[in-house]
Amino acid sequence: MSGGVDSSVAALLLKEAGYEVVGFTMLRKGTSVKGGKVSDQEVEEAKKVCSFLGIEHFLLNVNQTLEEKVIKPFIQEYREGKTPNPCVNCNRFVKFGVLCDEIALRGFDYLATGHYARLLQEKDGRPVLMKARDASKDQSYFLHAVDRASLTKVIFPLGDYTKTQVRQWAKERRIPTAERKESQDICFIPADGYGAFLSERGVTIEPGDFVDRQGHPMGKHRGSLLYTVGQRARLGGIRSGRLYVISVDPKRNLVFLGKREDLLSRRLVADRVNILVDDLPLRCEAKIRYAHRPVACRVEIEAEKLTVTFDEPQEAVTPGQFVVLYFGEVVLGGGRIIASGR
């Protein structure tokens, strides 16, 4: 229970369907319990919603797991010149890891969340992760790394509905937080951005050189860790044509620039592979980032590495991001991108 519209309506729908429902809110950095009072707007709003719905509210401290499994890897990947997606690790290790373990210890049957995704049960009872009905809100990309066994005890009440329907229900039922705006930010990153966050964590960010593919200087940048593959480069003075970041070398503090066609890749290699089906087809579709349109590809797994070859070259295949595989509506699995090539 974040107190937001999605988790609140998910709890409401389950209660109206006859489930016995309780709410869990995860305490993370910046949230504390003192003298029995909880200081954090999100937690206070979650308490208010649970009171409104007439359900119990529990708190679970996830700071240690968040730090070790999400934040530290996030920082390390930036040190390595990658562009991490911490929400994937948060789902895997925190929401569908620590929280799943906690509810099992307390004797609850299922974990329900406000994610926009669906689960289909096969005849043998094993779950199949599927896209949400609302393509514009589908969050299955962020769930591909969740352990398949964990999904047997999960419910996604919002998977068959649109965000418009969910927000309308919140207003009609007069949920206290019905008008709360949707957050798109990484929960542990402060308002002044990830650059400031990395600096606070001891990561050195210093000005360096923009260079072309051959290593010739082209100008100065603010710090290589502040740039990602595909980002438009803005140089002082007059330059012919647009330039884009094609790679980052944090050891030498260099940012390599090229033309848009230099961003194209025919294939990629991924590690940390998680497959959610028994048999992976040779051909399927892949997304190389959350907002990416799925594209046709061939796949192969060897030595715990996933190789994806696209039918058509894709732009800005970014190390640190995740490639997620789909077969129609079914989520096959995915992995973390570590390399790409032509």
- Do residues 50 and 1 lie in contact, with contact meaning Cβ atoms separated by under 8 Å? yes
Residues 251 and 281 in one domain: no
For residues 260-285, one letter each, b for 16 or more C-beta atoms within 10 angstroms of the residue's C-beta and e for the rest, the string is eebbbbbbbbbebbbbbbeebeeebb
Q: How many domains does the chain have?
A: 3
What integer best gives the mean pLDDT of the chain? Answer: 91
| Residue 49 shares a structural domain with residue 133 | yes
Catalytic residues: 90, 187
| Phi/psi at 71 (5° precision) | -70, -50
Q: Which domain holds residue 14?
A: 5-172
Q: Is residue 82 part of a domain?
A: yes
Asked if residue 71 is part of any domain, the answer here is yes
117 in the same domain as 12: yes
Task: Say yes or no: 155 and 56 in one domain.
Answer: yes
pLDDT at 3: 85
Within a domain: 20: yes
pLDDT 10s digits, 52-87 = 999 999 999 999 999 999 999 999 999 999 999 999
Same-domain check for residues 58 and 142: yes
Q: pTM, whole model, 2 decimals?
A: 0.91
Helix 5-16 to helix 163-172 angle (10° resolution) is: 70
Closest CA to 152 of 113, 126, 187, 114: 126
pLDDT surpassing 90 at residue 42: no
Residues 34, 165, single domain; the answer is yes
Of 117, 150, 172, the residue at which a domain comes to its end is 172
pLDDT computed for residue 31 by the predictor: 61
Give the residue with greater pLDDT, 10 vs 177. 10
Cα–Cα distance measured from residue 291 to residue 289, given in angstroms and rounded to the nearest whole number: 6
Q: Between β-strands 264-275 and 305-315, what pairing exists: parallel, antiparallel or unpaired?
A: antiparallel
Closest CA to 28 of 75, 74, 61, 69: 61
Question: Which CATH number belongs to the domain containing residue 270 in this structure?
Answer: 2.40.30.10
Same domain, residue pair 334 and 252 = no
The reply to whether 140 and 41 lie within a common domain is yes
- In the structure encoding, which two tokens stand for residue 67, read together? 């730090």
CA 90/CA 338 separation, integer angstroms: 19
- 164-200 pLDDT, tens digit per residue, is 999 999 999 999 988 887 766 678 888 788 888 899 9
Q: Quick one: 223 and 323 in the same domain?
A: no
| Alpha carbon distance 339, 266 (integer Å) | 11
- Over residues 276-321, the pLDDT tens digits come to 999 999 999 999 999 899 999 999 999 899 999 999 999 999 999 9
Are 84 and 58 part of one and the same domain?
A: yes
Report the chain's terminal Cα–Cα distance, integer Å.
44
**Claim to verify: residue 21 and residue 70 sit in the same structural domain:** yes
